[in-house]
Amino acid sequence: TLGTQTDYRDGEAQTDPFSPEYVVPSGSVPELLTLATLTWGRGLPAGLAEVEMIERAREKRAWEATLPAMDSASHIAKRRKMMDDMERKEWAFREQEIEKLQEVRLEVLKKLLQRREENQNKLDAKRLDDHWQNHQKAKEEKIKKIQHDCALMLRKLIAKRKNVMGKLERRDIIKEYTDFASQTYAPLSRIGYFPDNHSERFVVKSFYLNTFAGLCELEASLPDSVTQVKIKAPKPKHTTTKTGFIKRSARLEVELAQVHQALLEKKNKVKEPKKPIHFLEKVEKPVPRPPTPVLEKPSIEEEETELAVICLQKLLRGRAIQNMMFEGKEKRLELIRELRTTHALQEDGQLLLKAEEQMTLALQKQHDLQMHKLSSVENHLAREEGRVLANMFDFLSKELVRLQEERKIHAFVMLAERQRRMREAEESGHRQVEERQRQEEDEIFKQAREGDCTIDSYLEDIILSSMENTAEEQAREEIQRMAVEINDIAYEMESRRTRLQSEEIVAELVYDFLIPEAEKMSIREKVRQSQRKHIYAAHQIIHRDTE
């Protein structure tokens, strides 16, 4: 009846799906065993690529089943031809996969280039905006300065115009004090006087206004008529005088009220429906229009004569203009010929220039394509080199850190071992001292009991024990001092290590760790390849037996 809840997500406690053990009966080869290489996260759960791979494996098994036996020369040739065809198909499929992969990489590269171009455009636009804003600020500052200079020059011109003759005028104090717009009452700040300065001197500072106790005391001192307001009803206005006449204000109020009422009635007036006609109404006819004037038609002979005259005028004018043009051409014939020759030469030169321009554009386009290809190849090579170098430097740095940590751990272990030995030595010394004290006490008790000991022997034993204790303490202090000196020497050697020594350590690391690891990997690959051959042969034997 109780529920529990963990502090962890299900994904943190999730493991790989369980794969139970299986037993294959003799004489059967299930198809599911061909997918044993697929594991969770590496092909499982199966996607579109895995399904296509499974279908290709099925087709290949079906094709292997159709291969003829190697019992005759014709069967062997047919088998070889079928295997060659299958190998061509596999190579074509592999080329398609490589092309798809290259297309995907090109798409990613295009997106990256487009994103970089967009970022560059944004950055350029931002820089242009900043530049434009700076120019705008400088422009506004210049405009303000020009306006200020303009106002200053206008004031100077006005002052000069007031006194054109250059006469000296005395100060009229009476006029200044009678004019409230003069410098006496309202001085200008540009002259150097600021009326708002030291305005705090005129602020009223009172105990009754700045403190709560003063406000309470001031409120208590006020009469009741101030704190308790008495409202009196308003008296009606008298619209008539004592003599009985109506006041002008009353008449205006009455007129305004009437106008307001008329406006409201006009605004809220509802349109009345049209009343039916009870009597006949006279419809006025419009004034008749005057008659339209009509022209008399000319006779056909006059019209033909007029058209013939117009045509003859046109011919005469055209012939006159033609004669004028011919005379002008004859007068300037040499100039026309010169112009024709120069234009012909210019056309030939323009054609040559166009051809050269087209050739130059084609060469430039070809050069741009080659440079683009070279830059893309260089970018790919630089990326691969950077990735390899990064992996190598990462591995070397990790190995260096690991070696340093190992040395530190080894040093810590040595220090701990030394401290443990020192503590054991101290404990053993304390134990020996306690045993010795116990023996001495037992001996003293025995001698005191037997009565054979004397004061001299007792003092001698005490002196010997104190000498032993003093010698042991001096030896311990000497050992500790030597350990501190050894530690200082070791730290100093570590700090004085040069770059050459560090490179030697890195070279030893590479020689001791990288080369054996590479040899191990190559040996593992060889073993895997040899095992793959045997596995492939075993699969073929099993399939042949099942068939």
State yes or no: cis peptide before 45, omega within 30 of 0.
yes
The pLDDT, as a whole number, for residue 218 is 83
> Is the distance from CB of 304 to CB of 312 less than 8 angstroms?
no
Q: Please report, as a single letter, which amino acid is at residue 210.
A: N
* Strands (E) located in 46-145: none
The pLDDT, as a whole number, for residue 496 is 72
The pLDDT, as a whole number, for residue 279 is 61
The pLDDT, as a whole number, for residue 136 is 93
The pLDDT, as a whole number, for residue 114 is 93
> Is the distance from CB of 432 to CB of 469 less than 8 angstroms?
no
The pLDDT, as a whole number, for residue 468 is 84
Q: What is the helix (H) or strand (E) element at residue 544, kind and residue range?
A: helix 515-546
Would you give per-residue pLDDT tens digits along the chain (547 residues)?
666 666 666 555 556 677 778 787 877 777 777 777 777 777 777 778 788 888 888 888 888 888 888 788 888 888 888 888 888 888 998 898 899 999 999 999 999 999 999 999 999 999 999 999 999 999 999 999 999 999 989 988 888 888 777 777 778 888 888 888 888 887 777 777 666 666 667 777 788 888 888 888 888 888 877 777 777 776 666 667 667 677 778 888 888 889 989 888 888 876 666 666 556 667 778 888 888 877 777 788 888 888 899 999 999 999 999 998 888 888 888 888 777 777 666 666 677 778 888 888 888 888 888 888 888 888 888 888 888 888 888 888 888 888 888 888 888 888 888 888 888 888 888 888 888 888 888 887 777 666 555 666 677 778 888 888 888 888 888 888 888 887 787 677 667 767 777 677 667 766 666 677 778 888 888 888 877 877 887 778 877 766 5
The pLDDT, as a whole number, for residue 110 is 94
The pLDDT, as a whole number, for residue 85 is 87
CA distances from 198 to 201, 262, 498 (A): 6, 61, 73
Residue 246 DSSP class: B
Q: Which residues contact 64 (CB under 8 A, 6 or more apart)?
A: 543
